[in-house]
């Protein structure tokens, strides 16, 4: 380490993978060309320089395939750079892909012992903490079952609970928190805030930009393996979204001229949920949902029993925006993603009704639609 204040120091680091020539599709071709130098060098990270100080909370952001997970693996030292150096200072723990370091035929409890011992805890230390680890994971009822029976969310609960209980100085976390349910995610982020405030170094890879902004003091944007921007999360995220919007628009325009792209849309009916039953005594009900599309011309059509509803209002949907910003960046207006309409239940006959939402091009092509059936009774 050059600077002892640093937890992580990366110097002029390049990582590449050898990949087989993509043109060789068949097994026969692969066998014929095996060992004849058909492998191509695929550069994943280019000349990265990075200092992360002790106690910093840093987010790595970037589109799929930009090199974020590879960078975390290099920090964890499960893979090594081809050029340059990656050094870390302090006890390090990481949550990478699900399952790394776990044995599926063994129980949750046994895996806590395996996993925590990899991080350097003695049997006695683990004995002292195991109750706390199990409690945090909320897996009490499943802890003596083999973990091959676990769901991915349960797996993550176990891995996270161990990782935060091994007294590491540096915590590296890849996306995996996203597989937890809302309750457990909230709990994980609360724990991470607590670790952050107690001076731990945290590096987190995430596509949840809201989380990045709230948890981290610094964000680093990796763009096609290059170090693109480093700074305050709000600023880095803003620039990142601008670039995605530009890339999306260019890619779609190019593919459209090639006849390879059709406009897309996604929409949803939040209320009424399928098969809901309303009493006329409730008088009115707000029906609502959301729609995203990359078509400038497409419009929303909401119909009740086949008849288009007038007076649909549009409103802000932050959650929808966050879920689709990468795929639809440059096409989304956060203020109008939601739609709603007040329905007068007393005007409806008793029995089943059908609410349909459609994302429709001017020529009548329906990009996406959804139907929910609901009933009205006295």
Ligand X SMILES: Nc1ncnc2c1ncn2[C@@H]1O[C@H](COP(=O)(O)OP(=O)(O)OP(=O)(O)O)[C@@H](O)[C@H]1O
Smallest separation, CB 201 to ligand X (Å): 20
Q: Which partner from the list Mg ion, ligand X, none does 231 bind, CB cut-off 5 to 8 Å by kind?
A: none
- 89-148 positions binding Mg ion, by CB under 5 A: none
CB closer to ligand X out of 65 and 231: 65
Asked whether position 207 contacts Mg ion by CB under 5 A, the answer is: no
Closest residue to bound Mg ion by CB: 69
- Give the torsion sign (CA, 85, 240, 178, 169): positive
Taking the C-alpha atoms of residue 90 and residue 201, their distance in angstroms, rounded to an integer, is 9
Smallest separation, CB 35 to ligand X (Å): 18
CB closer to Mg ion out of 48 and 126: 48
Question: CA Rg, the chain, in Å?
Answer: 25
Q: Which partner from the list Mg ion, ligand X, none does 15 bind, CB cut-off 5 to 8 Å by kind?
A: none
CB closer to Mg ion out of 98 and 348: 98
Smallest separation, CB 131 to ligand X (Å): 34
Strands 284-293 and 338-344: antiparallel
Smallest separation, CB 266 to ligand X (Å): 20
CB closer to ligand X out of 34 and 197: 34
CB closer to ligand X out of 25 and 307: 25
Q: Which partner from the list Mg ion, ligand X, none does 70 bind, CB cut-off 5 to 8 Å by kind?
A: ligand X
Smallest separation, CB 72 to ligand X (Å): 8
Q: Which partner from the list Mg ion, ligand X, none does 17 bind, CB cut-off 5 to 8 Å by kind?
A: ligand X
- List all residues 6 or more positions away from 82 whose beta carbon is below 8 Å from its beta carbon: 14, 15, 16
Q: Which partner from the list ligand X, Mg ion, none does 289 bind, CB cut-off 5 to 8 Å by kind?
A: none
**Residues engaged in binding ligand X (CB under 6 A):** 17, 19, 42, 44, 62, 64-70
Smallest separation, CB 73 to ligand X (Å): 8
Smallest separation, CB 328 to ligand X (Å): 17
Smallest separation, CB 319 to ligand X (Å): 20
Q: Which partner from the list ligand X, Mg ion, none does 64 bind, CB cut-off 5 to 8 Å by kind?
A: ligand X
CB closer to ligand X out of 41 and 273: 41
Asked whether position 46 contacts Mg ion by CB under 5 A, the answer is: no
- 49-78 positions binding Mg ion, by CB under 5 A: 69
CB closer to Mg ion out of 44 and 367: 44
Closest residue to bound ligand X by CB: 69
Q: How far is CA 157 from the centre of its chain?
A: 16
CB closer to ligand X out of 64 and 198: 64
Question: Where do contacts with Mg ion occur on this chain (CB under 5 A)?
Answer: 69
């Amino acid at each position: 380490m050059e600077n002892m204040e640093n937890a992580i120091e990366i110097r002029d680091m390049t990582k590449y993978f050898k990949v087989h020539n993509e043109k060789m599709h068949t097994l026969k071709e692969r066998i014929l060309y095996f060992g004849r130098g058909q492998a191509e060098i695929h550069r994943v990270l280019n000349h990265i320089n990075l200092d992360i100080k002790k106690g910093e909370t840093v987010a790595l952001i970037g589109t799929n395939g930009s090199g974020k997970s590879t960078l975390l693996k290099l920090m964890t030292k499960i893979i090594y750079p081809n050029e340059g150096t990656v050094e870390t200072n302090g006890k390090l723990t990481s949550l990478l892909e699900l399952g790394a370091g776990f044995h599926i035929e063994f129980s949750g409890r046994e895996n806590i012992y395996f996993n925590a011992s990899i991080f350097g805890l003695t049997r006695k230390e683990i004995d002292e903490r195991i109750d706390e680890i199990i409690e945090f994971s909320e897996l009490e009822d499943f802890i003596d079952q083999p973990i091959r029976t676990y769901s991915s969310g349960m797996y993550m609960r176990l891995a996270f609970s161990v990782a935060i209980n091994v007294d590491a100085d540096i915590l590296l976390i890849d996306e995996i928190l996203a597989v937890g349910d809302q309750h457990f995610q909230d709990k994980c982020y609360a724990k991470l805030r607590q670790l952050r405030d107690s001076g731990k170094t945290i590096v987190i890879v995430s596509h949840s930009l809201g989380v990045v902004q709230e948890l981290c003091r610094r964000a680093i944007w990796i763009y096609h393996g290059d170090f693109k921007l480093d700074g305050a999360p709000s600023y880095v995220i803003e620039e990142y979204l601008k670039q995605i919007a530009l890339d999306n628009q260019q890619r779609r325009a190019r593919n459209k001229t090639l006849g390879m792209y059709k406009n897309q849309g996604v929409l949803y009916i939040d209320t009424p949920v399928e098969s809901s039953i309303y009493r006329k005594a409730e008088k009115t009900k707000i029906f609502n949902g959301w729609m995203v599309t990359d078509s400038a011309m497409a419009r929303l059509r909401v119909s009740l029993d086949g008849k288009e509803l007038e007076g649909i209002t549009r409103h802000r949907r932050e959650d929808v925006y966050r879920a689709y910003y990468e795929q639809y960046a440059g096409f989304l207006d956060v203020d109008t993603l939601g739609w709603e309409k007040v329905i007068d239940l007393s005007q409806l006959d008793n029995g089943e009704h059908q609410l349909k939402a459609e994302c429709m091009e001017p020529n009548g092509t329906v990009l996406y639609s959804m139907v929910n059936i609901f009933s009205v009774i006295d």
